[in-house]
Amino acid sequence: PARRQALLDQLTRRLKSGEAVLIAHYYTDGDLQDLALASGGCVSDSLEMARFGRDHPAQTLIVAGVRFMGETAKILSPGKRVLMPDLDATCSLDLGCPAEDFARFCDEHPDRQVVVYANTSAAVKARADWMVTSSCALPIVRHLKDAGHKILWAPDKHLGRYIADETGADMLLWQGACIVHDEFKGVELELLKREHPDAMVLVHPESPEAVVALADVVGSTSRLLKAVVEGTAQTYIVATDNGLMHRMRQLAPGKTLIEAPTAGSSATCKSCAHCPWMAMNSLQGVLQCLDHGRGEIHLEEDVRAKALGCIERMLEFTA
């Protein structure tokens, strides 16, 4: 613990001095989230991470999250150095949507507007008309539907189905899934709800339909955090990566938080819902970024330039 504290102190000092700014996702370790906040960086959902990195004056951004978050930062700020504590931190949605297969899918459906989730590679974004995150997907798809468009959606099938149900839009879905959220179980959640009848159920829309159907609030990580902070209930059942609980506990200290059941939940596994790639981010990784410029994101300029359009469209829409 003494060495950890010394490392935290060193990193806080160096980040505060302006060497770089740390931008962390809610699913990363509590230590990293605290470091980002203590040093003038940010802890947020993926949409806010993109905005923060674009607008911050620092010339080096350290993005603690998964690969697509670092790539989005680089797409928006090509002149900045974008580093990640672990470049191998990927995402099952990104892995499950290879750019060539996706391009073929798009070619087969030229009559559709291509809308991709943020959790995709730069090459997939380069083929898209719009990028969305879970916090802005609904209004953007509604806008497209109202303009008479049919949609090709990738990669998350659960989020795609949820948006199609909510908006009534004609959406053709890629069949990807998040390995963390896909594990939440409707029947077990229903049983848990019976044990806690006054609890509010909060669900990230990457979860299966049966889980979403039991939710009081469906939304992005920041939306779920807001629901706990502002909610009048005492108890919350949370169906998303348990990394978010760290910030929930800090901002709503008196409230009771219960993890929603997953396929792997048991008495001995209290924290099953945690993204293995988010967990690859560490304080040591941040030190490597600062000391050696490790984990730099490089993108081919033509891919970056093509991917920029769909992200800018989203940022303008949500401004």
Q: Where does this chain bind ligand SF4 (CB under 6 A)?
A: 66, 91-93, 119, 178-180, 206, 241, 275, 277-278
Tokens of 170: 């004609």
Least separation in angstroms between CB 119 and ligand SF4? 5
Token pair 């370790």: residue: 29
Nearest residue (CB) to ligand SF4, 39 versus 72: 72
Query: How many Cα atoms occupy the beta-carbon half-sphere of 268 within 13 Å?
Result: 0
Distance CA 202, CA 53 (A): 28
Residues 6+ apart with CB under 8 A from 134: 45, 46, 117, 159, 204, 205, 206, 219, 220, 221, 223
Query: In the bound complex, what is the minimum distance in angstroms from residue 291's beta carbon to ligand 13P?
Result: 28
Residue 179 interacts, among ligand 13P, ligand SF4, none and using kind-specific CB cut-offs from 5 to 8 Å, with ligand SF4
Structure-derived torsion over alpha carbons of residues 207, 42, 116, 150, reported in degrees to the nearest 10: 90
> Of the two residues 68 and 130, which places its CB atom closer to ligand SF4 in the complex?
68
228 binds, among ligand SF4, ligand 13P, none (CB under 5 to 8 A by kind): none
Cβ distance to ligand 13P smaller for residue 11 or 238: 238
Q: Which residues of 88-122 are buried (b: 16+ CB within 10 A; e: fewer)?
A: ebbbbbbebbebeebeebbeeeeebbbbbbbbbbb
Give the residue from 62, 71, 45, 34 showing the smallest Cα distance to 241: 45
Cβ at position 117, least distance to ligand SF4 in Å: 9
Binding site for ligand 13P (CB under 6 A): 45-46, 119, 133-134, 178, 206, 220-221
CB half-sphere exposure, 109, CA atoms < 13 A: 21
As measured in angstroms, the least distance from the Cβ of 51 to ligand SF4 is 18
- Count the alpha carbons within 13 Å of 131 in the hemisphere toward its beta carbon: 28
DSSP tag of 136: T
Rounded Cα distance, 44 and 283, in Å: 18
Residue 155: asked if its preceding bond is cis (omega within 30°), the reply is yes
With CB under 5 to 8 Å by kind, the binding choice for 133 among ligand SF4, ligand 13P, none is ligand 13P
Q: How near is the Cβ of 249 to ligand 13P at its closest, in Å?
A: 18
Q: Which is nearer to ligand 13P, 136 or 214 (CB)?
A: 136
149 versus 246: smaller Cβ distance to ligand SF4: 246
Tell me the closest approach of the beta carbon of residue 147 to ligand SF4, in angstroms: 28
| 277 binding partner (options ligand 13P, ligand SF4, none; Cβ < 5 to 8 Å by kind) | ligand SF4
Closest approach, Cβ 14 to ligand 13P, in A, equals 26
Could you say which of ligand 13P, ligand SF4, none residue 48 binds, taking C-beta under 5 to 8 angstroms by partner kind?
none
Q: Which is nearer to ligand SF4, 184 or 277 (CB)?
A: 277
